[in-house]
């Protein structure tokens, strides 16, 4: 066994030979602490913070190092507006257990919200001042301060309780009730609030009783004028008579209700039911009619939908027509522009426009005209594009070079640079690992450009690539 107090090993008995502590008592104290902690947790979960505070105070009385209980005690204080008490408990808790203790987080969180903390603190300050003013007999001033205190720190149940006590003392039950319920909303079983509520309720009952007795005695005096004892007997007999009359009235009233119900059930209900049935029949008929219309496509909605569909189709056709017309006009404009460029020897720009024209939509006559224009500008433009492609190839930009050289070859396949364009395209294909495509380019040079300066190189390449393919 290890001593709960000093950690010394106890070989015999339960008294520590080192510190003399009775370990059975220590264990019992610790168990009692845990029991109180569990109670505190249960109360706090219910929202009964006063009871939770009592239990948790006892808990730390049994074991001052129970930091978890101390944290919960702080939280319970915080809930009833005692922010400073809460802070105090968390500070002590943080000093008792430095690691893995949420108390420091609670403190930090309060310090981060400095304005809120200040507001709560001002509320407490106002409460203390109000209490002092009450003791000095300056009730009016005290009430003003107390109200301010509640405004600043609405959870401060002590301030609300004090206000309730004051309202009870001046017999303002409505306000007293309001404040007492506010406290019970925060702290479910606050003892002072419950005591005040009982006080308010009992005083209300006694007022009601006093009022009824007064009324009865007034009636007795007015009608009979007998002595006190006789009056009491009379008032008793009056009550008995009143009860009998009341019973008869109730019985008659009940009989009236039954009779009315019976008349209603026999005369009114059938006509009401028939009316409802007719309505249901009509509605069912209408539903089936609508279902039929829906199936046949003759319903108003179906007809409207069909018309709209037709309208949409017509509009789409019109749109396509306009698009086509626009395209033809645009092409006419493009051809005119290209023609103007050729006239001013701006072949590259003219070629670019003609290259992007859609030849499929052109008439044969226009197409022939466009072909003539292409023959005029394509060789020049093809050379310019070829040169750009070579520059791109030299700078290692193969993607761009490929696109430019393909375009150049497409525009000018029978010029002096055309075989060179194919040769560079073949090299790019080789770099891309597409040997089949490369071989095709080389073959075209050999087959189509017998006078090419890269003829023999192309032949060698074909042999080399064929050998690689095996």
Partner 1 sequence: MINFKDEIKKYEQILELNDIEDSVHSTELKDIMDMLDYIVSQSNGFLKRKRGEANGMQ
Enumerate binding residues for partner 1 (CB under 8 A).
5, 19-22, 25-26, 29, 32, 60-65, 82-85, 87-88, 91-92, 96, 117-118, 121, 124-125, 127-128, 131, 134-135, 156, 158, 161-162, 165-166, 168-169, 192, 196, 199, 203
Nearer to partner 1, 198 or 246 (CB): 198
Among the listed residues 105, 47, 31, the one whose alpha carbon sits nearest the alpha carbon of residue 71: 105
Question: In the bound complex, what is the minimum distance in angstroms from residue 20's beta carbon to partner 1?
Answer: 6
CB of 12 to partner 1, least distance (A): 18
CB 455 within 8 A of CB 446: yes
Q: How many CB atoms lie within 10 A of CB 106?
A: 21
Which CB, 84 or 457, lies closer to partner 1?
84
- Which residue, among 418, 435, 414, 413, has the nearest Cα to 426 in the 3D structure? 435
Query: What's the closest the beta carbon of residue 150 comes to partner 1, in angstroms?
Result: 13
Q: Cβ of residue 147: shortest distance to partner 1, in angstroms?
A: 16
397: three-class secondary structure by DSSP: coil
* Residue number with CB closer to partner 1 (81 or 382): 81
Query: Burial of 107 by CB count in 10 Å (0-12 exposed, 13-18 middle, 19+ buried)?
Result: middle
Instruction: Check residue 359 and report its DSSP letter.
Output: G
Q: What does each C-alpha distance from 233 to 209, 216, 224, 228, 239 come to in angstroms?
A: 18, 12, 12, 9, 10
Close Cβ partners of 172 (under 8 Å, ≥ 6 residues apart): none
C-beta of 32 vs 366, nearer to partner 1: 32
Cα–Cα distance for residue pair 301/305, rounded to 1 Å: 6
Which of 163/426 has CB closer to partner 1?
163
Rounded Cα–Cα distance for residues 28 and 135 (Å): 44
Q: Are 59 and 66 in contact (CB under 8 A)?
A: yes
**Residue 21 or 216 having the CB closest to partner 1:** 21
> Cβ of residue 89: shortest distance to partner 1, in angstroms?
10
- In the complex with partner 1, the residue whose CB is nearer, 145 or 161, is 161
Shortest Cβ distance from residue 116 to partner 1 (Å)? 12
Least gap, CB of 91 to partner 1 (angstroms): 5
Could you report how far apart the first and last alpha carbons of the chain are, in Å?
88
């Amino acid at each position: 066994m290890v001593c709960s107090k000093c950690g010394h090993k106890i070989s015999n008995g339960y008294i520590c030979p080192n510190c003399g502590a009775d370990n059975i008592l220590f264990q019992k104290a610790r168990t009692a602490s845990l029991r109180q902690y569990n109670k505190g947790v249960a109360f706090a979960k219910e929202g009964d913070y006063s009871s939770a505070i009592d239990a948790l105070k006892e808990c730390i009385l049994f074991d001052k190092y129970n930091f978890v209980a101390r944290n919960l005690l702080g939280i319970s204080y915080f809930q009833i507006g005692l922010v400073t008490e809460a802070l105090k408990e968390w500070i002590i808790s943080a000093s008792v257990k430095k690691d893995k203790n949420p108390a420091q987080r609670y403190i930090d969180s309060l310090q981060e919200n400095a304005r809120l903390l200040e507001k709560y603190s001002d509320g407490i300050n106002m409460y203390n001042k109000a209490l002092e003013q009450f003791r000095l007999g300056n009730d009016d001033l005290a009430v003003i301060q107390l109200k301010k205190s509640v405004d600043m720190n609405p959870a401060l149940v002590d301030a609300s309780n004090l206000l309730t006590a004051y309202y009870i003392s001046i017999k303002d039950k409505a306000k007293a009730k309001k404040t007492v319920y506010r406290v019970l909303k925060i702290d479910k079983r606050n003892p002072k609030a419950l005591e005040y509520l009982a006080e308010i309720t009992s005083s209300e009952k006694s007022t009601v009783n006093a009022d009824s007795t007064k009324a009865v005695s007034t009636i007795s005096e007015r009608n009979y004028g007998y002595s006190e004892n006789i009056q009491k007997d009379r008032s008793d007999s009056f009550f008995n008579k009143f009860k009998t009359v009341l019973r008869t009235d109730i019985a008659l009233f009940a009989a009236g209700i039954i009779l009315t119900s019976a008349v209603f059930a026999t005369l009114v209900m059938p006509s009401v039911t028939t009316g409802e049935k007719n309505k249901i029949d009509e509605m069912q008929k209408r539903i089936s009619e609508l279902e039929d219309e829906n199936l046949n496509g003759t319903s108003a909605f179906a007809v409207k939908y069909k018309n709209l569909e037709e309208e949409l189709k017509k509009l789409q056709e019109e749109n396509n027509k306009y698009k086509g017309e626009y395209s033809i006009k645009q092409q006419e404009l493009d051809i005119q522009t290209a023609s103007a460029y050729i006239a001013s020897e701006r072949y590259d720009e003219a070629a670019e426009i003609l290259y992007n024209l859609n030849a499929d939509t052109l008439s044969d006559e226009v197409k022939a005209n466009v072909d003539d224009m292409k023959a005029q500008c394509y060789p020049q433009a093809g050379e310019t594009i070829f040169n750009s492609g070579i520059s791109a190839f030299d700078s290692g930009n193969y993607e761009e070079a490929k696109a430019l050289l393909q375009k150049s070859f497409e525009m000018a396949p029978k010029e002096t640079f055309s075989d060179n364009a194919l040769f560079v395209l073949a090299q790019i294909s080789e770099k891309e690992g597409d040997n089949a495509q490369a071989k095709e380019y080389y073959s075209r040079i050999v087959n189509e450009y017998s006078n090419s300066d890269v003829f023999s190189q192309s032949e060698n390449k074909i042999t080399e690539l064929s050998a690689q393919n095996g």
